[in-house]
């Protein structure tokens, strides 16, 4: 017999996605797999309207990959931007900061709507690890909180050791010899967010590192023994550390290619193309963009550059004149998963994510 609202017989997992860059897609990939093997459990997926439109091409009651998934429903969370808002362009993470300021109240409001519609209170919060405030939400509801870290374990450990790293920077300023698992890293190898104690996004990462030990379990996009020393440190600091990766992204069957990237790649030789993309949030400074353009120009390899911005204004004119149209292609957006899976792509130039940190 079906349970009534708040009945322990009913399970309702509230999934709180971070709707920027590639965070929502791997979380949805994980949720789809769990939902498929637990059909009696309800899953409510919360993200921005723009993010949900990209993740759920078959509609908000689909599995996000075009398939039917009756126990998974998406809900839109307001992005916090006022009517008529246009990003200034001076701060690429400005939309993120606006969203985060409004996120706790907005998510709470939509969660109440989902609980009413589905007839069951949330019994678990499965969230992006960025949502440090979810610790309070889970505690107030007396339900488990399971944050998902979509990068690797080394980056996660650095954010949990931020205080120690800042102390070392203030004294030695060179290496991380005193932290097990991070001794091969130098200060210059670390993302600048670790040493920034003022800006909103670094503050979010710091708070995240402080509250993760409160989580019932922390899920990491890694695999068993990928980095034994780092993972041992994380297990000693967290109640439970779960490797669930690598989270392979599955592109939707009908992904837009309005700029003709795939037909262009079809004409290139196998493993000959350099694909360049720095994501939707972060971008190199002007002098680095110029250096990349010059390097591509000199290599003579064909290239595809997904360039967020005004290419004609920001790329060297001589580069555009010589390289594009003959052996290169610059587009404002590319179907990245399909591009990376194409036989013609032999190299990928990217920033590897703003919060990632790899061994030297």
**Residues recognised as catalytic:** 23, 128
Ramachandran sector of residue 85 (left: φ over 0; alpha: ψ -120 to 50; beta: rest): beta
SS3 assignment for 82-133: CCCCCCCCCCCCHHHHHHHHHHHHHHHHHHHHHHHHHCCCCCEEEEECCCCC
Supply 102's token pair: 């409004």
Supply 59's token pair: 């509609």
Supply 254's token pair: 């009908």
Pairing state between β 273-277 and 328-331: unpaired
Beta bridge mates, 330: 305
Beta bridge mates, 73: 44
Calpha distance 28→46 (Å, rounded): 10
φ/ψ of residue 31, rounded to 5: -65, -40
Classify each residue of 211-238 as buried b or exposed e, where b means 16 or more C-beta atoms within 10 Å of its C-beta.
bbebbeebbbbbeeeebeebbebbeeeb
Output the CA–CA distances (angstroms, integers) from residue 204 to 67, 78, 132, 191, 314, in the order listed: 35, 19, 7, 14, 31
Calpha distance 81→32 (Å, rounded): 29
Contact 20, 50 (CB under 8 A): no
Closest CA to 148 of 210, 232, 220: 220
End-to-end alpha carbon distance in the chain: 57
Beta bridge mates, 60: none
């Amino acid at each position: 017999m079906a349970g009534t609202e708040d009945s322990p017989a009913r399970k309702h997992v509230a999934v709180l996605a971070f709707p920027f860059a590639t965070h929502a897609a791997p979380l949805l990939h994980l949720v789809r797999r769990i939902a498929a093997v637990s059909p009696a459990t309800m899953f409510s997926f919360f993200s921005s309207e723009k993010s949900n439109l990209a993740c759920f091409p078959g509609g908000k009651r689909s599995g996000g990959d075009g398939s039917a998934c009756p126990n998974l429903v998406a809900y839109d969370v307001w992005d916090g931007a006022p009517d008529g808002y246009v990003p200034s362009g001076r701060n690429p993470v400005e939309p993120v900061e606006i969203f985060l300021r409004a996120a706790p109240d907005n998510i709470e409001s939509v969660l109440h709507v989902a609980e009413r519609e589905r007839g069951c209170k949330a019994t678990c919060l499965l969230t992006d690890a960025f949502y440090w405030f979810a610790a309070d939400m889970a505690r107030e509801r007396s339900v488990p909180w399971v944050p998902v870290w979509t990068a690797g374990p080394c980056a996660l450990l650095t954010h949990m050791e931020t205080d120690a790293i800042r102390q070392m920077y203030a004294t030695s300023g060179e290496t991380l010899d005193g932290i097990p698992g991070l001794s091969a890293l130098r200060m210059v190898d670390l993302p600048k967010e670790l040493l920034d104690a003022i800006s909103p996004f670094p503050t979010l990462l710091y708070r995240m590192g402080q509250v993760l030990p409160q989580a019932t379990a922390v899920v990491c996009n890694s695999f068993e023994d990928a980095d034994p020393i780092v993972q041992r440190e994380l297990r000693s600091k967290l109640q439970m550390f779960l490797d669930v990766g690598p989270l392979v992204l599955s592109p939707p069957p009908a992904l837009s290619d309005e700029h003709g990237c795939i037909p262009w790649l079809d004409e290139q030789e196998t493993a000959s193309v350099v694909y360049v993309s720095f994501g939707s949030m972060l971008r190199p400074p002007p002098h680095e963009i110029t250096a990349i353009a010059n390097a591509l120009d000199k290599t003579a390899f064909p290239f595809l550059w997904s360039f967020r911005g005004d290419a004609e204004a920001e790329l060297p004119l001589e580069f555009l004149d010589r390289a594009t149209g003959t052996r290169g292609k610059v587009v404002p957006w590319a179907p990245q998963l399909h591009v990376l899976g194409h036989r013609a792509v032999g190299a990928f130039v990217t920033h590897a994510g703003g919060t990632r940190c790899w061994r030297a």
